[in-house]
Amino acid sequence: MAPALRTAHTADLTAAQLAAARGLLDAAFDGDFSDEDWDHARGGIHALVHDDTGLLAHGSVVMRRVLHRERWLRVGYVEAVAVRADARRQGLGGQVMDALERYVDGGYDFGALSASAAGSALYTARGWQRWPGRISALGTAGVVRLPDEEGHLFVRPAAVTSLDPSDGLIFDWRDGDVM
* pTM recorded for the entire structure: 0.94
Q: Domain ranges for the chain, please list them.
A: 4-172
State residue 21's pLDDT score. 98
Q: How far apart are CA 105 and CA 67, in angstroms?
A: 19
State residue 103's pLDDT score. 97
Q: How far apart are CA 27 and CA 103, in angstroms?
A: 26
Q: Work out the angle at residue 105's Cα, subtended by the Cα atoms of residues 65 and 44, and round it to the nearest 5 degrees.
A: 55
Non-local (6+) Cβ contacts of 97 within 8 A are 47, 59, 78, 81, 122, 123, 126
State residue 173's pLDDT score. 92
Nearest residue to 74 (alpha-carbon basis) of 31, 29, 109? 109
2 pLDDT higher than 70 = yes
State residue 69's pLDDT score. 93
Is the distance from CB of 47 to CB of 7 less than 8 angstroms?
yes
Choice among 2-11, 93-102, 152-161, 164-173 with the minimum mean pLDDT: 152-161
Torsion over CA of 102, 103, 106 and 109, rounded to 10 degrees?
-120
Q: Give the residue, 82 or 175, on which the prediction is more confident.
A: 82
Average pLDDT, the chain: 93
Mean pLDDT confidence for 119-130:
92
20 pLDDT higher than 80 = yes
State residue 177's pLDDT score. 85
Nearest residue to 89 (alpha-carbon basis) of 64, 54, 125, 62? 125
CATH class of 4-172: alpha beta
